[in-house]
Amino acid sequence: MQRFNSLLAHPTLSALNTHNQEADFAHNIWQQIAPENLATLSRGVHIRNQQLTISTSNNAVAAKIKLFVPSLLIQLQNRGYEVTAIRLKVQVKSTPQAKQKAIKKLSSKAAEHLNLLADSLTGTELGDALAKLAQKAK
């Protein structure tokens, strides 16, 4: 336990802990005043210089929040918070890379059946295509 307490006393971790507490405080305030649908799509980041910073990943949500800023500021002041502005940050999430499709290979039994079918359709475009497919499977 003593080693753990000494880690908490480390300046970097105490700064991180302070930052985390500020973020939690701002997020809790945001959850109290924001409309429910906007509160789920955004997050209170911090309060600095009497500005509440809100983060969202969507421009449409940010635009909707901007419409509510005057009433949100009044709510904040009525609750006793010294906030004079709401600042919005939009952090667009990058799209994940598409997974490569796995190349599927025909079984030897399927290749045999394709050869039989290709033989029965000899001289037709379909028969030629089936023969090609069976050859690739081998």
Q: Are residues 82 and 38 in the same domain?
A: yes
Residue 103 maps to a domain: no
Q: Are residues 69 and 13 in the same domain?
A: yes
> Are residue 119 and residue 66 in the same domain, yes or no?
no
Claim to verify: residue 69 and residue 114 sit in the same structural domain:
no
Per the listing, tokens 């924001």 go with: 34
User: Residue 97: inside a domain, yes or no?
Assistant: no
Strand-pair partners of 90: 56
**Total domains in the fold of the chain:** 2
Number of neighbours of residue 124 by Cβ within 10 angstroms = 11
pLDDT, mean of each 10-residue run, the chain (138 residues): 67 79 89 91 91 92 94 92 92 77 82 87 88 81
Closest CA to 86 of 96, 97, 72: 72
Report the distance separating Cα 95 and Cα 130, nearest Å: 39
**Residue 128, CA distances (Å) to 88, 93, 135 in order:** 63, 48, 11
Domain holding 129, by residue range, is: 108-137
